Amino acid sequence: MGFTRAELESYRDATVGDLMPEHPRLVFVGINPGLWTAATGTHFAHPGNRFYPALRAAGIIPRLPGFANGMTDADRRMFLDAGVGITNLVHRATARADELDRSELREGAERLERDVAGWDPLVVAIVGLTAYRQGFDRPKARAGRQEEGIARAELWVVPNPSGLNAHATVADLARAYAEPARAAGVPLAPPIGG
């Protein structure tokens, strides 16, 4: 499946629903949906995004879903059965995350805290250090486990898998994503790749 620039632009400001199990162990929080994500209705869907390859390499999921064309029901079930959810800090789709302003990120952080209190996961992993720093007003935060939690959940900040974050390899991302998964008690398959 491919999209023209005009087709993608038609999804600007659209929203994508959360992928959330009834009783999540681990919730990954993206910054906001990209236009490809909005077009397919699948989080982290851009073909160049390394989120799902990193989850597979970490052993968090047993197989790679068909994310670039939108997930199948079986793909969604794989996440739900594992107790892994996916949401966004800001629900509005943009071409790039840097189109969001600080007030949107702060409003998203406040909403996320309410959502997390309702979902009651064990661990929340925010995917993107800069968005975390701005949204939660923690300018000196570092990646990894945070001292403060969110609602009753342990809070982690992990690297963004976007192709714009090219210095992080799939193996680097896999190592970073496996840590909050272990903390949440998500059963990990044997890791693959480097």
Has residue 193 been placed in a domain?
Answer: no
Angle between helix axes 170-184 and 51-58 (nearest 10 degrees) is 60
Residue 14 lies in a domain: yes
Residue 77 confidence (pLDDT):
97
- Provide the pLDDT for residue 167: 78
Is residue 190 a part of any domain in this protein? no
Residue 51 pLDDT: 97
Instruction: Classify residue 125: in a domain, yes or no.
Output: yes
Global pTM value: 0.95
User: How many domains does the chain divide into?
Assistant: 1
Quote the tokens at residue 52: 């799902």
Per the structure, the complete domain to which residue 113 belongs is given by 5-184
Q: Residue 8's closest CA among 33, 39, 32, 29? A: 39
We report the CATH number of the domain holding residue 12 as: 3.40.470.10
Examine residue 155 and state whether it is found in any structural domain, yes or no. Answer: yes
Evaluate whether 46 touches 36 at the Cβ level (below 8 Å).
yes
Mean pLDDT by 10 residues, the chain (194 residues): 89 97 97 96 93 96 92 96 97 94 96 98 96 96 97 97 78 97 92 56
- Dihedral, CA of residue 36, residue 38, residue 39 and residue 44, to nearest 10: 40
Please give the pLDDT value at position 194. 45
Can you give the pLDDT at residue 193?
54
